[in-house]
Amino acid sequence: MRGPRWFGFVVAALLAASCVRQGGGADGSSPADALDGRDFVSTRVLEGGEERRLVPGTRIELSFSHGELSARAGCNIIGAGYRVEDGVLRLVGDASMTEMGCDPERHEQDAWLAGFLGSAPRVELEGPRLTLSTGGTEIRLLDREVAEPDLPLAGTAWVLETIVEEGVASSVPTGLEATLGIRDGRIGGFDGCNEWGARLISSEGGVLVLGRVSQTTIACTGAAAELERDVMAVVGAGRIAYEIDGSTLVLRDDRRELHFRGEPATAG
């Protein structure tokens, strides 16, 4: 079986509200307009003036789009409508959180971020820098386009993190790995069971066009076979829609999305 699936549930802590203040963008636009369409990643978190240590390997991620806020603290995704009033971020309507099976430390960090966002934090936006603060807690963030420019498709080591099938997301099973890389006109990787590869004919217009895909012939069962099926259903299609956003590569077919996390490939 795959990793734990995500289910929506209402997060009551996100619906709290309080009164605070804030200003607009430097160009006179409203704060909500200045945030819309932007993604931010944390650079520092303070509590009472002291550094709050996040779980190793995690950070705070916030995305604002058409009045919807999406937030992550290393495990689940928090979602809610939002508006900015008098310098304060206020959540609108029912908020939700995915439900992934993560370790207790990351679950606790999710709950902490949910409570923080639901407490109507003050918003300060200066160019690429966003600061949210309330009750002695301050989260400093940087626009992701500045902090984390898009990685190149070729020359990056891509590791599969999430599979989305017909709107339901699941993590790669523990102990398994699927990878992808492009080099010298070829694309290939590991599908959780077998090595695969093909000639990369084109990557123009957000579409990968592959030649005939070949694989090794190890016979796998269980979770490894399921992972192989999902990966090859996409990469074996020959024409694959793709999108890169920062360090994330998404491959899509009619039913599935494969979400990869990228790291610059090492030389050699």
Residue 4 lies in a domain: no
Residues 38 and 129 in one domain: yes
Q: Yes or no: say if 165 and 256 are a contact pair by the CB < 8 Å rule.
A: yes
Q: Residue 68, Cβ neighbours under 10 Å: how many?
A: 14
Q: Is the pTM of this model over 0.75?
A: no
Residues 44 and 82 in one domain: yes
CA distance 94 to 68: 11
Domain that holds residue 170: 156-264
Choose the final residue of a domain: 118, 147, 176.
147
Q: Residues 42-76: pLDDT tens digits?
A: 999 999 999 999 999 899 999 999 999 999 998 88
Q: Residues 195-251: pLDDT tens digits?
A: 999 999 999 999 999 999 999 999 999 999 999 999 999 999 989 999 998 889 999
Residue 244's closest CA among 159, 126, 124, 152? 152
Residues 136 and 160 in one domain: no
